Structure 1
């Protein structure tokens, strides 16, 4: 089997319930270098929202090629740092799913986030894929991974069930189906609009999915579950999405205001 599959196995092994993989999501080579240099960084992960923002786009407008361009820059860092890379792949860009996954593997990544919410780049709201369709999309990803000699490719299957008004049991049903289809882990997105997942929802989902759960930890607002909390609940993966980018943008604005106002550096 390929050396790249050894890296995929290493990434998969980092997903340990109660001892979660913690990801400080990045969006370009500069952010990737900063994160990869930290002793506690075990892997690199991109955030599509942040990549889109850096390209002057809204998240639904991000193209496959723009996403791959950013991922290539991050991949060069992950290779130098010898850290596994997983790429936020949105909903897979429809008919470009196989082509895109093949390119992701070629640049050296060993995992993706794959959403079950189809985007409408023309301003429409899109919607959830039917469960069987979403399962087949995961199988399609894994078939490409096998063809590219990375059978342990890690799919972090995201469901937006809560975001569209469904309940936690619906999200769990989808999560179980995605694991059955070949996903390694499940990301239940609580959504900014509803304030994320409650502790009770995280606990219920983690128990039902045997800990194979990714939770987005809120860092830009006070309160919320901590790494310690999520570890005790038993999740296997913690991420922060575009929050580092948003904090960085805020810091740049504050410093620029001082400079433009004539304050000493």
Structure 2
């Protein structure tokens, strides 16, 4: 067997495993990573079964603002390094697809990525669903069980309007439901609805999409993990929160040093 065929077989195997993890009734949690060392630390922590990258964190570590400011090839190169550094399946946050969602998914699969978050950015629904269909066709053509975590920005984009009362939560929830169902119909295995959602909203989305089809982000204020599993959520990821936690620890070390202290005794030898 050639090296290329072995690599392809490994990618297919990881894709199948990632899909299985999403379909399992046990809630899948993925703490997002942004480079090789963060990937290794998370992968080596007992209980970790899969990894996901955070586009915001990768962009920040390379000096770019979030929002597709990092060149697509630079993003693909970083997620390739992460996928090559660990034995677990890796899903990549690829923002809105950098102007070519299907082409970006093709590039990601070529470097060993077996899942992705792609934002709809509230494009017209027909266009967004068409993008989902095109991305899943790329994965099908590659023979990969690819876990497209089709993201709707219904709550993210409505944030200011919700706070001002210009829009009602029920209307935003209905829009998120409509978009999610369209993405499932277009072939996406799961739908990502980021935002701080209440129990009843989570339950309504989970019931509409089906068991293990809804994925959420772990933010302050969301229901506890055990409750999310009861409500039928399939996956919780943490986006840039993991990098913020790490940078908070770094800032606290700096503050301790400036205050005459030093390295905390709780530090672990992780590498």
TMscore range, shorter length: 0.7 to 0.9
1:16 aligns with 2:17: no
1:16–1:237: 8 Å Cα contact kept in structure 2?
no
Which protein has greater RCO, CA pairs closer than 8 Å, 6+ apart?
A: 1
Whole-Å separation in 2 of the counterparts to 1:225 and 1:217: 9
Q: Tell me what 2:234 maps to.
A: 236
SS at match of 1:5: helix
1:264 deviation in Å?
A: 4.1
Aligned-residue CA RMSD (Å): 1.7
Structure with higher Rg: it is: 2
With over 3 angstroms needed to count, the CA separation of the structure-2 counterparts of 1:71 and 1:56, relative to structure 1, is same
5+ residue gaps, structure 1: 118-127, 191-195
Whole-Å separation in 2 of the counterparts to 1:73 and 1:116: 26
SS at match of 1:15: helix
SS at match of 1:59: coil
Whole-Å separation in 2 of the counterparts to 1:245 and 1:230: 23
1:67 aligns with 2:75: yes
Give per-residue Cα distances to partners, 1:14-68, cap 9 Å, x unaligned. Answer: 1136422110111111110000002211101001111111112211123212311
Normalised by the size of structure 2, how large is the TM-score? 0.84
1:19–1:234: 8 Å Cα contact kept in structure 2?
no
Whole-Å separation in 1 of the counterparts to 2:109 and 2:262: 47
Whole-Å separation in 2 of the counterparts to 1:73 and 1:188: 28
Normalised by the size of structure 1, how large is the TM-score? 0.86
SS at match of 2:34: coil
Q: Tell me what 2:92 maps to.
A: 87
> What are the residue-to-residue correspondences of 1:6-155 with 2, within 5 Å?
6-16=13-23, 18-60=25-67, 61-78=69-86, 82-94=87-99, 96-117=100-121, 128-150=122-144, 152-155=145-148
Bigger fraction of residues in helix? 2
Give per-residue Cα distances to partners, 1:183-221, cap 9 Å, x unaligned. Answer: 01000121xxxxx11221111101111121001112xx4
SS at match of 2:156: coil
Q: Tell me what 1:5 maps to.
A: 12
Aligned residues: 242
1:175 aligns with 2:168: no
5+ residue gaps, structure 2: 159-170, 264-271
Q: Tell me what 2:164 maps to.
A: none
1:242 deviation in Å?
A: 0.9
Deviating runs (4+, > 4 A) in structure 1?
Answer: none
1:261 deviation in Å?
A: 4.2
